[in-house]
Structure 1
Amino acid sequence: MDKIELIKRNVQEIVTEEQLIALLNQKENPSAYVGYEPSGKIHMGHVLTVNKLIDLQNAGFEIIVLLADVHAFLNKKGTMAEVREIADYNKECFIALGLDANKTKFVYGSDFQLDSEYMLNVLRLTSTTSLKRAKRSMDEVGRQMDDPKVSQMVYPIMQAIDIAMLNVDLAVGGIDQRKIHMLAREGLPNLGFKSPICVHTPILLGLDGSKMASSKDNYISVDDTEEDIVRKMKKAFCPVGQVDDNPVLSLFKYHIFPRYDEIIFNRPEKYGGNIECKSYNELEGLFQSEELHPMDLKNGAVKYMNLLLNPVRDLLK
């Protein structure tokens, strides 16, 4: 797989692909970043962007991970000490999930976001950004606010300035980050900074087929036990032969096949014996034709998700 195909794998959008190709032709080791707000559990939605960082790393990018402790503090996720502790844990989890620690630069927001130069650039961008646009950017990442605080309005402005001050070529995020990234692309050149290329990953459904939510317990987190995953997969939405909006198939597409060249579904001989798949498209075809039963698909997901998460579990021991 060439660099472009590797970067495009499992992404929803690249803004713009032409700029990405030009960057790869002009720069031997371009830089890419993603920011993570240290709050709550790391689930497979977060891991989707980690997977993309690994792809970018394999494509020759220098990777910067922003552990956004100041952002989390402003978004009322705990004291600075509490969010810093979570940030440290997040860092170890990302390394256990496959990011090369020797080739990844981890940066805490508090290392530079309180400096005068940073704050001056935040104020400069606020002077050209409407309150309506700032609120809309925040709403898009799931923070519907009846009574928003000023700190929460500054959040997307800071995220744009993060891109500028870290001097990255490319920003990675879920598609819910799009409006913030577009604010950065349009606003940063007016401040004398380059406009970032943006790579957006899709937002995946929860295991029950609805939006992921902690209250529903409908997602896999990196600290789930093997028993937790068995329990969650038994309840997962997985209609016979349905490939669209199937959260179990999504685990294979976005998390399992990017890490394994071949998937083996173990089945008793009376049910046809084992099935081997060498690509996601092959798996989708087998499931759609009903050659592979939902229970076999779920059992395979349990097997490979546990293999994927074992390094994180070892970290937690």
Structure 2
Amino acid sequence: MTAKVAPNLREIPVTVVADDSFAVVANRSAQLEHEIAEHPDRFRVLTGDRPTGPLHLGHYFGTLANRVRLQRAGVEVFLVIADYQVITDRDSVGNLSGNVRELLLDYLAAGVDPTTATIFTHSAVPALNQLMLPFLSLVSVAELHRNPTVKAEAEAAGGRALSGLLFTYPVHQAADILFCRGNLVPVGKDQLPHVEMTRLIARRFNERFAAGAEVFPAPDALISDAPLLLGVDGTKMSKSRDNAVELRDNEDRTARLIRRAKTDGERTVSYEPHRRPEVASLLLIAALCTGRAPQDLAEEIGGRGAAALKALVTEAINEYLRPLRKRRQAIATDPGYLRQVLLEGNARANQIAEQTLQQVRSVMDMAY
């Protein structure tokens, strides 16, 4: 849903993306894939993660593998380790430096190339965060309330006070994307309102402060057809639920986790996502790791039951992740290299953010 810039904030509501609007975005996303194949140098991607724990298979097949794909295609990739966002819904930072290190290890082990990708942390780039101030002036409280992430967190809080940082999270995310003039944001359908908020802020800034000149591009969403993988307890894979195979796990722990994976009482294995979601998710994991169709894997297992299914999934995961885990172990032995990757990424992000902030000050008549 694309809104036009108007003088009054209340005239432009930011809402959940409707199905007909999603079809438009999906068509545009397909067109973008063709453009990426032909002219990858025209695109700059911004994406990232909160350092709240190690990444798992859901992260890998949902986002990380796609980032590596885009980088290898020639797209410039920026990865933010969103350390400030850790405290949006938490009372303490926990082992933040350790989690940042683990996240960086996962990125590099998965194939992110730090010589062409920019990996940086929120807290190390002051100019990025300073963009929050003018950007906050461009959205209303009502629009922030309508953002699906903010609404969901408010409902989950059950009356507990919502932090100001969480409430303004969509604007912080816009600053992440726009500070480097990112024009491509890989997202799932549920994240489209965040991209729309960013597009809205970019257009409003250009119209109100830059007399219509394009200081910030309105980024496009690149729809990610990320598979929904369930954890071993049958719920969505999550860092906090201890229900997922982490990229850093060894093969024995992977086997133990898969052995306790929830299935059902039927002996014959079949791929029926709606009727048998737990069995289907295990088959999908094996399919992603082997490059085979989940239906074919189900037919191969047939009536040999859940034990045979879990054995196949365990072997598929361990075989697929073996090279990644080997790289991860090797990189982890060189903490100086990890520090250097982050120092260089932070330095580049700072350089770009300072240039952007300088231009923002100029067009806002704040260059004293």
TM-score range, shorter chain: 0.7 to 0.9
After superposition, the CA RMSD in angstroms is 3.2
Percent of residue pairs bearing the same amino acid type: 21
1:32 maps to a residue whose letter is: V
Distance change in 2, residues 1:15/1:191 (3 Å): farther
Higher strand residue share: 1
Give the counterpart of 1:197 among 206, 220, 238.
220
**TM-score w.r.t. structure 1 length?**
0.75
1:300 maps to a residue whose letter is: E
Whose Rg is larger?
A: 2
> Which residue in the other structure is 1:232 paired with?
257
Question: For 2:107, what is the secondary structure of its paired residue?
Answer: helix
> Which residue in the other structure is 1:130 paired with?
143
> Which residue in the other structure is 2:52 paired with?
39
Report the count of equivalent residues: 281
Runs of 5+ consecutive residues of structure 2 not aligned to the other structure = 1-24, 207-215, 334-368
Listed as ranges, the matches of 1:31-110 within 5 Å are 31-48=44-61, 49-76=63-90, 78-79=92-93, 82-110=95-123
Are 2:327 and 1:311 equivalent residues in the alignment?
A: yes
CA distance in 1, matches of 2:27, 2:316: 29
Higher helix residue share: 2
1:258-305 CA distance string (max 9 Å, x none):
xxxxxxxxxxxxxxxxxxxxx422x53242354584244234224325
1:63-108 CA distance string (max 9 Å, x none):
11011112223343734x9534422331122101221222211121
Answer 1 or 2: higher relative contact order, Cα 8 Å, separation at least 6. Answer: 2
> Which residue in the other structure is 2:178 paired with?
164
Give the counterpart of 1:242 among 270, 288, 291.
270
Are 2:163 and 1:149 equivalent residues in the alignment?
A: yes
Distance change in 2, residues 1:152/1:116 (3 Å): closer
> Which residue in the other structure is 2:356 paired with?
none
CA distance in 1, matches of 2:83, 2:106: 16
Report deviation, 1:23: 5.8
1:220-267 CA distance string (max 9 Å, x none):
11232222111111122456432223222222344x24xxxxxxxxxx
**TM-score w.r.t. structure 2 length?**
0.65
Runs of 5+ consecutive residues of structure 1 not aligned to the other structure = 1-11, 258-278
